[in-house]
Amino acid sequence: MNSTEILKLLETRRTYRKFDQSRQISKEAVEDMKKAARTASSAMNRQPLRYLYVRSPQKVNEVFETTKWAGALPSELGVPREGEKPTLYVVVLSVKELQSAYTSFDEGLAVSNMTLAAWTHGVGSCIIGSADKDKLRKALEIDESLDIGCVVAFGYPVHESYIEDMKDDTKYYLDEKMNYHVPKRKICDTVKDV
Ligand SMILES: Cc1cc2nc3c(=O)[nH]c(=O)nc-3n(C[C@H](O)[C@H](O)[C@H](O)COP(=O)(O)O)c2cc1C
């Protein structure tokens, strides 16, 4: 893959919030997601992370009930409806005994790898930081020796999402076709060459 193709992959690996709920994630995509997370760098190489892949329809439903979607949009637009919901969740956990000051870095790197690998298979994702962790722990019987980081929702998207140059607001918005537009600050506003 050349640099143009890698940048294209990065630009299109956006947050997706509506999916084709009738399509299960392919086995190949799931295997590549697992491999990709394993390759992530880890502070002191402690590798504190564990991953819970939730695919059974009943559990997927229970996880959905713990998640909050698209804070910038009215719920009727931002929350996936029946038929549009994710078909797989990955709950990112960390072993308390192995945690360091950098565990959230580890989580970010692993999630980035995982969501990119998924996207190479056409599988879109939404990282969810605002899940109800108590409810999630109960629903999935997560041991107290593990901390819950984020939840990542996966599915085959039914909308597009485009990066835009930011003007005066970072808020993402929808167009008339229900596609997302995500304002990003310009490079000249975030980078200084010295
Ligand atoms: C750490 C983190 C937590 C997030 N939590 C949520 C969330 O709880 N619910 C949600 O709908 N989106 C969530 N998002 C998605 C962001 O809203 C999204 O990344 C942002 O709007 C930019 O869009 P982009 O990912 O397409 O660049 C989260 C993203 C990150 C990185």
> pLDDT tens-digit profile of 40-87?
999 999 999 999 999 999 999 999 999 999 999 999 999 999 999 999
On whether the CB atoms of residues 121 and 57 are closer than 8 A, the answer is: no
Helix, strand, coil % in the chain, rounded to nearest 5: 35, 25, 40
Asked if 151 and 178 sit in the same domain, the reply is no
CATH of the domain at 194: 2.20.180
Residue 194: helix, strand or coil by DSSP?
A: coil
Q: Is residue 151 part of a domain?
A: yes
Average pLDDT over residues 3-27: 98
Asked if 26 and 59 sit in the same domain, the reply is yes
CATH of the domain at 126: 3.40.109.10
Asked if 43 and 85 sit in the same domain, the reply is yes
Q: Does the beta carbon of 172 lie inside 6 Å of ligand 1?
A: yes
Considering its fold, how many domains does the chain have in total? Answer: 2
**Other CB atoms closer than 10 Å to residue 17's CB: what's the count?**
29
What percent of the chain stands above pLDDT 90? 99
Both tokens of 132, joined, read 């109800």
Q: Is residue 81 part of a domain?
A: yes
CA distances from 135 to 24, 52, 53, 57, 132 (A): 25, 15, 17, 17, 6
CA gap 10, 4 in Å, rounded: 10
Q: Is pLDDT of 1 > 90? A: no
Confidence of residue 190 (pLDDT cuts 50, 70, 90): very high
Asked if 132 and 165 sit in the same domain, the reply is no
Q: For residue 56, what are the domain limits?
A: 12-156
pLDDT digits (tens, 9 = 90+) for 109-147: 999 999 999 999 999 999 999 999 999 999 999 999 999
Residue recorded with tokens 């997706």: 16
Cα-to-centroid distance, 127 and ligand 1 (Å):
5
Mean pLDDT computed over every residue of the chain = 98
Asked if 45 and 95 sit in the same domain, the reply is yes
Cα-to-centroid distance, 156 and ligand 1 (Å):
17
Q: Is residue 95 part of a domain?
A: yes
Q: Is residue 4 part of a domain?
A: no
Asked if 113 and 80 sit in the same domain, the reply is yes
Asked if 50 and 118 sit in the same domain, the reply is yes
Q: Does the beta carbon of 128 lie inside 6 Å of ligand 1?
A: yes
Asked if 121 and 173 sit in the same domain, the reply is no
Asked if 103 and 22 sit in the same domain, the reply is yes
Asked if 56 and 87 sit in the same domain, the reply is yes
Q: Is residue 78 part of a domain?
A: yes
CA gap 162, 180 in Å, rounded: 6
Sheet holding 88-95, edge to edge: 49-54, 88-95, 146-155, 124-128
Asked if 90 and 171 sit in the same domain, the reply is no
Q: Is residue 18 part of a domain?
A: yes
Cα-to-centroid distance, 130 and ligand 1 (Å):
9
Both tokens of 44, joined, read 């002191």
φ, ψ of residue 184 in degrees (nearest 5): -120, 140
User: Which pLDDT value is given to residue 91?
Assistant: 98
User: Which pLDDT value is given to residue 116?
Assistant: 98
Give nearest CA residue, ligand 1 atom 3.
129
Asked if 112 and 170 sit in the same domain, the reply is no
